[in-house]
Amino acid sequence: QVQLQESGPGLVKPSQTLSLTCTVSGDSISSGNFYWSWIRQRPGKGLEWIGYIFYAGNMKYNPSLESRLTISIDTWKNQFSLRLSSVTAADTALYYCARAVRSVGRFHFDLWGQGTLVTVSS
């Protein structure tokens, strides 16, 4: 079955760039009407959608993060990635990659990675 797996450093220093990769296994990242997404959950808090990318390259970002955010896709490696620059302690969170399905103009997240904890600290 299709699975998502996040990878990347668990510790990032303040002002540096947080970089994570999500590897998709079990299907091609280019197949289907899927929008490959990043979502985070700060400690003890709710869920925050970060952004998504479609295999053709178009993306949407959360405006609150857009100035620091880049989401990219590598269809050859079946991966998509997140880069968040100028991080602060407020970016400490459990980061999930997820697959959003588009159906009649509506989107829902039907598949999630297990999540990876990123701590911003010196």
* H or E element in which residue 84 lies: strand 79-84
> Which residue, among 66, 83, 68, 75, has the nearest Cα to 118 in the 3D structure?
83
Q: Which of 57, 63, 67, 76 binds other proteins (CB under 8 A)?
A: 63
Q: Does 112 bind other proteins (CB under 8 A)?
A: yes
The 3-state DSSP class for residue 90 equals helix
Q: Does 60 bind other proteins (CB under 8 A)?
A: yes
Query: Using the 8-state DSSP alphabet, how is residue 57 labeled?
Result: S
In the complex, the smallest distance separating the C-beta of residue 70 from other proteins, rounded to whole angstroms, is 16
In the complex, the smallest distance separating the C-beta of residue 26 from other proteins, rounded to whole angstroms, is 16
HSE value, Cβ hemisphere, 13 Å, CA-based, for 22? 30
Contact 79, 22 (CB under 8 A): yes
Two tokens at 81? 């990635």
* Interface of this chain with other proteins, residues 72 to 111, rule: CB under 8 A: 96, 98, 100, 103-110
Sole window of 25-33, 41-49, 69-77, 85-93 interacting with other proteins (rule: CB under 8 A): 41-49
Task: Please report, as ranges, the residues that interact with other proteins according to CB under 8 A.
Answer: 46-49, 60, 62-64, 96, 98, 100, 103-110, 112-115
